Amino acid sequence: RILRVAIMGLGGYGTRVADAMQACKRAKLVGVISGTPAKIKNWQNKYGILEKNCYNYENFDQIKNNNDIDVVYITTPNALHHDETIRVAKAGKHVICEKPMALNAREGQEMVDACQAAGVKLLVGYRMHFEAKTLEVVRLRETGAFGKIMFFQGLCGFRIGDPNQWRLNKALAGGGSLMDIGIYALNGARYMVGEEPVWLTAQETKTDPQKFKEGVDETIQFQLGFPSGAVASCLSTYNMNNLDRFFLNGEKGFAELQPSTGYGPIEGRTHLGPLTQPHTTHQTKQMEEMAGIILDGHKPIIAVDGNEAIKDLKLIDAIYKACKTGQKIDV
Ligand code: NAD
């Protein structure tokens, strides 16, 4: 069987996913949900989408009666993910939701509960969880190649442009760089160290309060402590270019990836030598793997379900709290 996908939100990332899916053997773009009729027409022409598989934000609950769509892939601004996921679940379709899955852990839990109640799967667009060099580092760690893990560093950021975009609007983005790009360092710390943090500290700095309004973080540094004693030091920013680096250090060796989470190719090496796994377009690989998860019940090496996303959201809630209070938080 082939996973038949409708994309909701025909913006930059939705387009990237649609293009990447053209190379998939097990996933196919068959539908769209958009508020802009002209975009729907373009997509119909470009991807051969049938009129009966086109919806808008008013009528997409009717997708319930469409037997040609298995899953809706939500690529709208962050604040919309919660309500849209719950509506799609109620329409009986599986959901793939972009990161951050929600604005906070409470919303995330409501999404997981709604999908569970509806008997549909909820997956999150954690494309790095399928990336070959990333998985090789995880495999090496699990075989003990790095020895006891001591330290992880994750640096994730870019200089954001247009001050009027939704990413800099608290109501639509839910925050700033941490929601958007810092989440890669946070999520990466968890899968690189291979443990869940037990405490964290965080500090926010802002050089441009005009551009980065109240509640929209420009730069956050955060530190995580893990049960084994390993620590992580991470930086999330909207104000520095070319910041895309992971470094993992253990008693017997190390791994470094740079770039570590960009669209690729990912580059890296360990104390054993360069990482040579071939590059596959991340979104193509992700959709092939997600077809296996949804249709065949495959279990991914690193989880990509709603509960995995809640772990990140709980930590994001705690990082924002730590920035406000200056306190070390037990998580
Ligand atoms: P974008 O602005 O390019 O696209 C967003 C789309 O949502 C637009 O087509 C817009 O018209 C539509 N939209 C629907 N309702 C809207 C509303 N009420 N207000 C504003 N826009 C509305 O943004 P994007 O870069 O495609 O990001 C979309 C989502 O994808 C975000 O959650 C983002 O974090 C995620 N994303 C993930 C990755 C990744 O690598 N996994 C990369 C980029 C973006």
pLDDT computed for residue 158 by the predictor: 98
pLDDT computed for residue 274 by the predictor: 98
Q: How far is the CA of 88 from the centre of ligand 1 (A)?
A: 17
Rounded to a whole number of angstroms, the distance between the first and last alpha carbons of the chain is 42
Q: How far is the CA of 76 from the centre of ligand 1 (A)?
A: 4
Tell me which residues of the chain have a pLDDT lower than 70. none
Domain ranges of the chain: 3-127, 128-278+306-330
- Bridge partners, 171 (sequence order): none
What's the CATH class of domain 128-278+306-330? Answer: alpha beta
pLDDT computed for residue 57 by the predictor: 98
pLDDT computed for residue 298 by the predictor: 98
Classified by CATH at the fold level, domain 3-127 comes out as Rossmann fold (3.40.50)
Its ipTM equals 0.99
Question: Both tokens of residue 143?
Answer: 């075989």
Ligand 1 neighbours by CB, cut-off 6 Å? 9-14, 35, 75-78, 80, 98-99, 125, 127, 166, 172, 180
Q: Which of 33, 36, 60, 75 to mutate to test the pocket of ligand 1 (most atoms within 8 A of CB)?
A: 75
pLDDT computed for residue 14 by the predictor: 98
- Name the phi and psi angles at 279, rounded to 5: -85, 135
pLDDT computed for residue 144 by the predictor: 98
Judged on CB neighbours under 10 Å (0-12, 13-18, 19+), 143 is: exposed
pLDDT computed for residue 304 by the predictor: 98
pLDDT computed for residue 270 by the predictor: 99
Task: Examine the residue annotation and report whether 133 is marked as an active-site residue of this protein.
Answer: no
pLDDT computed for residue 260 by the predictor: 98
DSSP run (H or E) holding 42: helix 37-47
Task: Quote the CA–CA distance of 51 and 193 in Å, as a whole number.
Answer: 47
